[in-house]
Every structure is written in structure tokens, then in C-alpha cells.
Amino acid sequence: MTAPAVDRQPVLYLSHGAPPLADDETWTGQLAAWSTDLPKPQQILVVSAHWEAAPLTVGATETVPLTYDFWGFPQHYYDVTYAAPGAPELAESVAKLVAKPGRPVYQDPNRGLDHGAYVPLVEMFPEADIPVLQVSMPTLDPRELFELGRTLAPLRDEGTLIIGSGFTTHNLSEAVFGDVTGKAPQWGREFDAWARETVGAGDIDAVLDFMDKAPAAARAHPRTEHFAPLFVSLGAASEGGSPAGDSVIDGFWYGMAKRSFQFG
């Protein structure tokens, strides 16, 4: 019996927001509208800025409590749940693609989805009926993450939506807290405009060399973990598809660029 056809999935890079994202009706509406235009995935693979572990590690493959990797927020943010099914078969596929002699793939069976994964998924796929797997970033090196994305690209043909979850600018020391209307600093606007143009053109070399090529890069990303998931997304999009990204969400939140891209 022939297996049913599976839609080839696009690849996303999204700015995921902190837990208070759920209070921003503009942003939640943008995420919800985005998901309605996507082919429904068979499963979702998330690379979040909030999980760095080497070698590459896969998270829980069954439903476990979320990882509330933040502190100092009101209690209702810790009451959020997202009981998506686990994705053990996807974890096996990831391991087969990534593991090599001397390069194992680890598993952390107790690590639930962190807020880089569940905060946007609650808005995009609120039914929590799609299996989700989170994997760690084993490095912050742009080219190594790009190659990781290329390695994971075949999963798209199995109905896997690959999501890199970060933030297009991320400098909490200069965030404009209390203002969700978009009064971003000039350096943030310059970096965001560069990202829109460069990612939109599919200029992979420039994006991977962003610390030297982008305006105010060190100020936009004093540490690069929130831009790093984009490199995985670019790699996954470059195999059998266009690395040029369509900007789906733009604007600023607490002065940080929430620009998000879709590839394919």
C-alpha cells in the first residue's frame, strides 16, 4: 500500500519573545496568521536560542513538563502548559542524520520544551496536536550551525517543520522595557534593515559573517545565541530550495527587532 504524500515543509526563523509575548495581541495575531498559511506539518523540530549543549542533544521524546527557563515573572506565566505529543521517530531520524563516529547524539529524556519553543507554538499551533522535538545548539559557530541545518534538511521531505527560534536583535541591557510599540534605537533599526535585505537576498556568506558585515552587530547581539538559530534555518533551506527568506513578521518589541523569516 502506497504511503500518503507528505507536503515538503518550509523552514522558519522566528523571533520568539519572552513569556509576556502572550499579552501582546499584535504579535500573537501575527503568529497565528502565519501558521494558517503553512501546510500542516507531520512533526516540528525546534532549535532554540535557550538550549546550548554539545554534542547535539535531543530533548524529551514523550510529553513531559515544560522547561520554565526564566525567573521573576508573575505566577501565571509558570502555569502555561503545552502538552504536545513527543516525537520519538523524529529523534531517531535526527540521530541517524547527525551521528557519526566520534560525534554521538545524546538524549535528555527529562528536558521539556523551553520558552523559545513553546511560547510561539502556543500561538501558532494552539491545539498542541503535532509532535514536537527540541534539539540543542552544539555550538554558536555560524558555519557549523549552517552545516547542521544542511544535515537536517532531508527531514523537510518527511513533513517536518524546522524552526530556528531566536531574536533578530537581542540586547537586554538596552531593551526599552514597558514599550511594545516599537521605539527601537537607531542601531537596532540599522541591524534589522540589514537582516531584512541580506536574508531576503539569500546572501548566506554575509549572514554567516554578520559580526563583520552587519551594522552594529556587536550591539545588536552582545552574545550571538539569539541570532544563531537562523544559521540552522539557512542551512536547512539551502538544500533543494531557496535560501532567500521572506520576511513574514517585522516591527519591534521592547526595542528589539521581532523580524521573522520563512524559507520555501
In the predicted model, is pLDDT for residue 242 greater than 80?
no
Q: What cell was used for 120?
A: 510561539
Tens of pLDDT, residues 88-120: 999 999 999 999 888 899 999 999 999 999 999
**Other beta carbons less than 10 A from residue 242's beta carbon:** 11
Alpha-carbon distance 85 to 43, whole Å? 9
User: In a 10 Å sphere around its CB, with 0-12 CB exposed, 13-18 middle and 19+ buried, how is residue 11 labelled?
Assistant: buried
Task: Tell me the domains of the chain and their CATH numbers.
Answer: 11-263 (3.40.830.10)
What pLDDT digit, counting tens, does each position of 6-65 carry? Answer: 779 999 999 998 888 888 899 999 999 999 999 999 999 999 999 999 999 999 999 999
- Inter-axis angle of helices 142-152 and 88-98, to 10 degrees? 120
Helix (H/G/I), strand (E/B), else coil: 196: helix
pLDDT value of position 224: 98
Cα of 264 vs its chain's centroid, Å: 15
172-202, pLDDT tens digit by residue?
888 887 666 667 899 999 999 999 999 999 9
232 near 164, Cβ under 8 Å? yes
Question: pTM to 2 decimals?
Answer: 0.95
Read off the pLDDT band of 240 (50, 70, 90): low
Average pLDDT over residues 79-89: 96
What pLDDT does residue 22 have? 83
> Would you put residue 35 in left (φ > 0), alpha (ψ -120 to 50) or beta?
alpha
